[in-house]
Copies of this chain bind each other. A is one copy, B any other.
Amino acid sequence: MVFVSNKSNQIVYGNLLYGQSGGPTSVINSSAYGLFTEAFKSNEIQEVYAMHFGLEGLLKEDLIKINKDDNNLSKLLNTPGAVFGSNRFKINYDKDIESLEKIYLVFKKYNIRYFFYNGGNDSMDTIYQISKFLKSKEYECYCIGIPKTIDNDLIETDHTPGYASSAKFIANTITEIYYDDHSYLKGRVNIVEIMGRNTGWLTASSALASINGAKPDLIYVPETSFDVDSFLAKVQKIYEEKHHCLVCVSEGIHDKDNRPLLEQNKIYDAFNHLQLGGVSRYLEELVHNRFGYSTRSFELSLLQRANSMAPSEVDIDEAIGVGMRALQVALMHITDKMVTIKRISNNPYKIDFDLVDLNLVKNQIKYLPNEYIDSENDTINELFFNYALPLISGEEKNHFKNGLLDVYKLEK
């Protein structure tokens, strides 16, 4: 990686601002930890601030000062959620002048010269817009994106921090469900709904349970179309044969005309309201009513993105790493980039960090490659294992205290 300084070669003294954005991951707080600890080592950075609830907080000048002497900072590695507060605020250079002016004034007031935003593709666009506005004001500030999303759908990076810990939770939860169901001679049709509106990266990780002898019978991802009749026929065949059936579905499955499953089949409850809940609940009822089988549905819901009980050590290390690297490149006066992860080798697993233009990565989606999908058998093939297995490796030590997660409690 060749670093080219964008502006002055002189040292720029100033303060740092960090924000969390979008849905939390198990390791978003680990990236904050990496960034902060690296910042505390530098001479250029004087004060470190985190936005309280991202841009929503920034606009209200609600900032949290991070204390170098805070001995609890390492607990960020054990803490679920986005502990400094996240937001889903989007910003547009052409339309949101008022907000951008306000942001600029806060940056000036707090002498923010290093700005880091931790999020997915929407968030990368947000940094891009803010940076563009700051440039238009000739305000010197280095703006770097720190990647984060359980969905693993950012382009130009081998994977995203957060994905692996969710994938690990899913693979092992599927193992648990399989073994629990096989405690009985006759089990149920188990339907597990996994996050992923547009991509099947997370749902694919359910296939890793095969290595434990806990292979899901059917896996449906949004990269292919879902046919209800074919699904029902397959479930019937499997359950009649084995008296067990384990199905994993992405929340975003859709038919061949790209219509999401639940839009086609609006379910109204006793109150005549649209029934809440996702596709697993719908499919569970469909199977139960069609065949009378014992069924059970699972929505892994936010448990899969808040997994702090058994996260991947590789994931935590890489999350810390992208935070540290973000700081390093900003100090080199690089701006408008997102840190990426490049896989150097698989065995042993080795990575390096790299950079990509925000402009390139924003608002784009990386889909599960076709070669991983066995659409004839509605499953994921073993090529995917080579990709995913190295990412979920390793366990944290000492992240519990008296049996409870030893979390970072925000004093605010």
A residues with a Cβ closer than 8 A to B are: 20, 23-24, 53, 56, 79-83, 85-87, 168-169, 171-173, 175-185, 208-209, 211-214, 267-271, 273, 275-277, 281, 284-285, 288-289, 295-299, 301-303, 305-310, 312, 389, 391-395, 397, 400, 402-405, 407, 409
Whether A302 lies near B177 (C-beta < 8 A) is yes
**This chain's copy number in the assembly:** 2
Q: How far is the CB of A97 from chain B (nearest CB, A)?
A: 24
Residues of B contacting A307 with CB < 8 Å?
Answer: 176
From A305, which residue of chain B is reached at the shortest CB distance? Answer: B180
Roughly how many angstroms separate A177 CA and B267 CA in the complex, as a whole number? Answer: 27
Whether A81 lies near B389 (C-beta < 8 A) is no
Whether B24 lies near A180 (C-beta < 8 A) is yes
Picked from B209, B276, B302, the residue with its CB within 8 Å of the CB of A176 is B302
Whether B409 lies near A403 (C-beta < 8 A) is no
Residues of B contacting A298 with CB < 8 Å?
Answer: 299, 301, 303
Whether A180 lies near B269 (C-beta < 8 A) is no
Q: Would you list 9 pairs from A and B whose C-beta atoms are within 8 A, ordered by A residue? A: A79-B179, A173-B303, A175-B405, A180-B305, A212-B404, A267-B269, A276-B284, A276-B297, A395-B400
Roughly how many angstroms separate A53 CA and B185 CA in the complex, as a whole number? Answer: 7
Residues of B contacting A208 with CB < 8 Å?
Answer: 404
Residues of B contacting A56 with CB < 8 Å?
Answer: 185
From A176, which residue of chain B is reached at the shortest CB distance? Answer: B306
Whether B289 lies near A407 (C-beta < 8 A) is no
Roughly how many angstroms separate A390 CA and B276 CA in the complex, as a whole number? Answer: 39
Whether B310 lies near A309 (C-beta < 8 A) is yes
Beyond A184-B85, A269-B275, is A404–B179 a contact (Cβ under 8 Å)? no
Whether A285 lies near B289 (C-beta < 8 A) is no
Picked from B86, B175, B209, B297, the residue with its CB within 8 Å of the CB of A183 is B86
From A86, which residue of chain B is reached at the shortest CB distance? Answer: B183
Roughly how many angstroms separate A79 CA and B400 CA in the complex, as a whole number? Answer: 21
Residues of B contacting A83 with CB < 8 Å?
Answer: 179, 183
What 10 A-B pairs are tightest by C-beta distance, nearest first? A81-B179, A392-B403, A176-B306, A309-B310, A82-B183, A80-B176, A180-B306, A80-B179, A81-B183, A81-B180
